[in-house]
Structure 1
Amino acid sequence: MNRIAVTVICGFLGAGKTTLLNRMVQRDDAGRLAVIVNDFGELNIDAAIIAEVTDAVYSLQNGCICCTVQEDLLAQLVSLSQLSPRLERIVIECSGVSDPQRILQTLAYPQLRAQLQLDAVITVVDGVGYSSLEGEFARLSRAQVACADLVLLNKTDLLAPQELAVIRSKLGARVPVIETVYAELPDSLLLSDRGEAGSLKMLPATTRHDQLFESWLWQSPQALDPERFRQWLAQIPPQVFRVKGLVHLQGIQAPQWLQHVGQRSQFSAAQNSDAQQAVQLVFIARRGSELRESLGRSLEACLIAA
């Protein structure tokens, strides 16, 4: 019996993992594919986005896949390996706070070894934000790169040639590094059979990520004023790594998916949203930043009066 190929997608918060995963599952030749999406926040926004293009999405949320929900990952993989007709591939999108080597160790458990084969670890790197990470956050990002069989250096359209050369040097990757825009990986490298399993690279464990990051959910039944909200996004402090979610904006009929990292925001129309609230935003920030209340108050000023 052929083992099911497993592709692991990792990378720091906001690097472009969900964009890459979207490209993978929309391919005509993707075959029988299941997707496991882990999100660190209370709502699994990434899973909801991917669910618009495939119904084979399994969500692991409200915890880091390599710390607090690792047992859930094991149970989900065992279940998927027993599906009939048999899957051809499982793609795991790790939370941006995850150290992928612990996911790779899970794939080596006795319950899974005969069923699953690691195909590759693809690490997406935010070309704009990589150099600004410090301390344990930089160490985590380096661990994600060190585990990779293939590195996508993303958002290269926002970098000057000299900046690009500096980042390539800092990466120090011993595996192929592909420069991408919007995680547009060449077709020849998407879901390709590589013939042998990726290798498990044992590295010193990073700090538990629930000790580095905190996450919270902000919701409102009222829509947002587009101009005030864009001004609010431009003033988010650097201690906040990520803001993402679903928002209703006054004057725009379709609800919008928001993806915000650094000083960049991206909106895209949501196709099948059944959210009970007009605004659902997940924040991921440096632990101890104490920004939850102040950001909530300033967000309230962006709401349209009921």
Structure 2
Amino acid sequence: MTPPRIAVTVVSGFLGAGKTTLLNRMVRRAEGSRLAVIVNDFGELNIDAAIVSEVTDAVVSLQNGCICCTVQEDLLAQLTGMAQLQPRLERIVIECSGVSDPQRIVQTLAYPQLRSQMQLDMVITVVDATRHLQLEGEYARLARAQVAAADLLLLNKTDLVDEEQLQALRNALGLRTRIHESVQAQLPDALWLDTDLDLKSRTVKPMVRVSNDDHSEMFSSWLWQGTTALDVERLRAWLQALPGDVFRVKGLVVLAQGGKAHWLQHVGTRSQFLPATDEALANATRLVFIARRGFDGWQALGQGLEACKMTEDERT
């Protein structure tokens, strides 16, 4: 008897939309099933994979490139290997980086060596209700491509906008696919665990043209690492004042208050600090910044972070 094909769920969305929060929820809800996760991050460190690894060991990291461009061959190799695992996997969840077009991942799943082994059951695109309509130019086109590829749109952070803003976003998204509105990336199990979409009957949607073949060229990234703990109040104030060209800040930060490690997620003017494991503490502070192409303010950002450090006199 031919074994059932492995269900594949693709999670997409622009930088900071809430994909990793959703992925953590999905992993927890699928506890007990044979599930593996592929996480792609743009930058020198795969912070998202490190966060998800605190929930499950079944994580594969594809980093420092766009999963639909520069690391697409790595994705194909990982999926081919996963198809051979025993006991056989039941589901694979792929989290695309915020710079990726998920339609290219859909096309990868249709390659001959995969389509007899795996079945795409849905593409979920997470949309940030506070930022989607503010994107311009090639960044707006990339976000539209992510939306166009979706079977389900998770309209996230709806608690942070008023009803007028929310309706404007609904109008912009249109009625092309299902939309579920959420806070903190809450997604009912029935919307993703009970799907039954067949790859053979699924229509590959037209791709929305984005200006660059390699989407990662639209962005620049920078890694900052340090061993000195940072003062949380100075850090919060500094993050609030970041230039608009910086789309995203995420990573592990050791806070002077208590000396504990926290996962930092920053988008726009909002920051979130979540406690990390004791194992993460040994890695000290490491932050990844993602900004517009050509951003040249990295030195100033480094100086700002240095100013957030707590001095020896303050610690005594």
1:259 aligns with 2:261: no
Decide whether the 8 Å contact of 2:7 with 2:118 is kept in 1.
Answer: yes
Residue 39 of structure 2 corresponds to 37
Q: Distance in 1 between matches of 2:32 and 2:11?
A: 16
- Structure 1 gaps of 5+ residues are none
Residue 27 of structure 1 corresponds to 29
Q: Which amino acid aligns with 2:169?
A: I
Q: Distance in 1 between matches of 2:129 and 2:196?
A: 26
Decide whether the 8 Å contact of 2:120 with 2:197 is kept in 1.
Answer: no
Deviation at 1:41, TM superposition (A): 1.1
Q: Distance in 2 between matches of 1:227 and 1:251?
A: 10
1:202 aligns with 2:195: no
Which is further off, 70-79 or 295-304? Answer: 295-304
1:273 match: secondary structure: helix
Deviation at 1:169, TM superposition (A): 0.6
Distance 1:290 1:226, change over 3 A: same
Deviation at 1:195, TM superposition (A): 4.3
Within a 5 Å distance, the mapping from 1:1-306 to structure 2 comes to 1-27=3-29, 31-197=33-199, 198-206=202-210, 207=212, 208-274=214-280, 276-305=282-311
Q: Distance in 2 between matches of 1:105 and 1:225?
A: 46
2:8 match: secondary structure: strand
Deviation at 1:252, TM superposition (A): 2.3
Decide whether the 8 Å contact of 1:37 with 1:58 is kept in 2.
Answer: yes
Q: Distance in 1 between matches of 2:191 and 2:8?
A: 14
Which is further off, 25-34 or 218-227? Answer: 25-34
Q: Distance in 1 between matches of 2:44 and 2:176?
A: 36
TM-score, normalising length: structure 2: 0.94
Residue-by-residue CA offset, 1:64-84 (whole Å, 9 max, x unaligned): 101110000000000101000
1:26 match: secondary structure: helix
Decide whether the 8 Å contact of 1:255 with 1:273 is kept in 2.
Answer: no
- Structure 2 gaps of 5+ residues are none
Q: Distance in 2 between matches of 1:298 and 1:27?
A: 40
Q: Distance in 1 between matches of 2:31 and 2:20?
A: 19
Q: Distance in 2 between matches of 1:104 and 1:226?
A: 41
Which is further off, 269-278 or 136-145? Answer: 269-278
Residue-by-residue CA offset, 1:152-207 (whole Å, 9 max, x unaligned): 00000011111110001111241111000001011211322324335321314422
Residue-by-residue CA offset, 1:97-147 (whole Å, 9 max, x unaligned): 001111111111111111111000000000000011000000000000000
Return structure 1 stretches of 4+ with deviation > 6 angstroms: none
Deviation at 1:304, TM superposition (A): 2.0
Q: Which amino acid aligns with 1:199?
A: T
Residue-by-residue CA offset, 1:256-290 (whole Å, 9 max, x unaligned): 00000000000100025345542100000001111
Alignment identity in percent? 63
Q: Distance in 2 between matches of 1:51 and 1:141?
A: 27
Decide whether the 8 Å contact of 2:158 with 2:183 is kept in 1.
Answer: yes
Decide whether the 8 Å contact of 1:43 with 1:282 is kept in 2.
Answer: yes
Q: Distance in 2 between matches of 1:188 and 1:12?
A: 24
Which is further off, 143-152 or 251-260? Answer: 251-260
Decide whether the 8 Å contact of 1:220 with 1:277 is kept in 2.
Answer: no
Q: RMSD across aligned C-alpha pairs, in angstroms?
A: 1.4
TM-score, normalising length: structure 1: 0.97
Deviation at 1:30, TM superposition (A): 5.5
